[in-house]
């Protein structure tokens, strides 16, 4: 029995040390990506190409999800607000929920699922088929050439996607509130405008989405770069990308929100 306990403890210890070691590798990876970013901007077409794959191709899922989220917010919000006779505040509720929280967070989660996994799979496969090795042997640094442009593409795309999410979501809420339910259009917009502060809500939301962009993209890149070069290794890496990105985004959201509300 003691033997088993011993083994379990050692197993846990191993895994914790493994995680910490991984975190160290990931931090070094992050730093080299930043340091070697010069080429992503000198040869802008590399970054732009990646922005197409991470940003443009995510547009559909982001906008459709935003529409539905906004509409649900409108419905649920109205359902509760009208009990207190405050159905005029529906615009405020939809806008603030989206701009402050749902815009950045849901966009980040969708991004991790769509673009993040694509990045992880692509880099993992490049590693498995020795393309990254070939690049190294041709004296081209794969981090500068493959990783950094994708990183900056993700970081730049995220705030735009989050802003689009919030905008389409507000429109979705408007669709439900004004034409469907019959809330007064003027009250909807004016209440919203007087309650949503540019500095506190919108700027903070943009800051959040930038941070999430950095986190989600670097996690996706690292998991792909670090994956064992087998089919199983790559598939497990894509799962890890989604899980780790989601946890990181939600955790950071709490930290940032408490920071900002102070």
Partner 1 sequence: MDRTTIDLWVGIFVALGVAALFGLAMKVGNLTSSQIGATYNVTAAFENIGGLKARAPVKSAGVLVGRVENIQFDSKTYEAQVTLAIDTHYEFPKDTFANIYTAGLLGEQYIGLDPGGDEAMLKNGDKISHTQDAVVLEKLISQFLYSKASETDEKKESK
Partner 2 sequence: MTENIVEINNLSFAYNNRLLHKGINMRFPRGKVVAIMGGSGSGKTTILRLIGGQLKPSAGEVRVDGKVVHKQSRQEIYRLRRKMGMLFQFGALFTDLSVFDNVAFPMREHTDLPESVIRDLVLLKLNAVGLRGARDLMPSELSGGMSRRVALARAVALDPAIIMYDEPFAGLDPISMGVIVNLIRSLNDALGATSIVVTHDVHETFAFVDYIYFVSDGVVVAEGTPDDLSKSDLPFVHQFVHGEADGPVPFHYAAPDYRQDLLRGANA
Pick one of 129, 190, 194, 239: the residue that binds partner 2 (CB under 8 A): 129
CB of residue 15 vs partner 1: minimum separation in angstroms?
A: 41
CB of residue 104 vs partner 1: minimum separation in angstroms?
A: 12
CB of residue 239 vs partner 1: minimum separation in angstroms?
A: 28
CB of residue 131 vs partner 2: minimum separation in angstroms?
A: 5
Q: Using CA atoms, how far apart are residues 259 and 143, in angstroms rounded to an integer?
A: 33
Within 4-33, the residues that bind partner 2 by CB under 8 A are none
191 lies in the site for partner 1, by CB under 8 A: no
Q: Using CA atoms, how far apart are residues 163 and 203, in angstroms rounded to an integer?
A: 11
202 lies in the site for partner 1, by CB under 8 A: yes
Q: What binding mask, one character per residue, do residues 13-52 give for partner 1 by CB under 8 A, x or -?
A: --------------------------------x--xx-xx
Within 235-254, the residues that bind partner 1 by CB under 8 A are none
Q: Which stretch binds partner 1 (CB under 8 A): 5-13, 136-144, 178-186, 196-204?
A: 196-204
> Which residues have C-beta within 8 Å of that of residue 28, sequence separation ≥ 6?
none
167 lies in the site for partner 1, by CB under 8 A: yes
Interface residues with partner 2 (CB under 8 A) are 125-126, 129-131, 133-134, 136-140, 145
């Amino acid at each position: 029995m003691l033997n088993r306990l011993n083994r379990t403890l050692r197993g846990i210890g191993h895994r914790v040390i493994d995680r910490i070691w991984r975190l160290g590798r990931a931090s070094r990876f992050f730093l080299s990506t930043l340091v070697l970013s010069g080429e992503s901007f000198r040869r802008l077409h590399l970054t732009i190409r990646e922005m197409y794959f991470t940003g443009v191709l995510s547009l559909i899922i982001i906008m459709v999800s935003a529409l539905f989220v906004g509409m649900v917010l409108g419905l649920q919000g109205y359902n509760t607000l009208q009990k207190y006779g405050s159905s005029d505040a529906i615009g405020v509720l939809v806008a603030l929920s989206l701009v402050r929280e749902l815009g950045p967070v849901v966009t980040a989660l969708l991004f991790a699922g769509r673009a993040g996994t694509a990045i992880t799979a692509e880099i993992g496969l490049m590693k498995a088929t020795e393309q990254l090795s070939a690049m190294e042997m041709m004296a081209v640094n794969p981090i500068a050439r493959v990783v950094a442009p994708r990183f900056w593409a993700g970081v730049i795309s995220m705030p735009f996607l989050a802003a689009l999410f919030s905008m389409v979501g507000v429109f979705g809420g408007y669709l439900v509130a004004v034409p469907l339910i019959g809330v007064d259009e003027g009250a909807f917009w004016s209440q919203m405008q007087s309650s949503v502060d540019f500095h506190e809500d919108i700027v903070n939301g943009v800051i959040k989405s930038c941070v999430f962009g950095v986190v989600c993209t670097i996690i996706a890149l690292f998991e792909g770069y670090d994956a064992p070069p087998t089919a199983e290794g790559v598939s497990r890496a894509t799962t890890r990308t989604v899980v780790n990105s989601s946890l990181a985004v939600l955790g950071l959201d709490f930290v940032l929100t408490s920071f900002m509300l102070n």
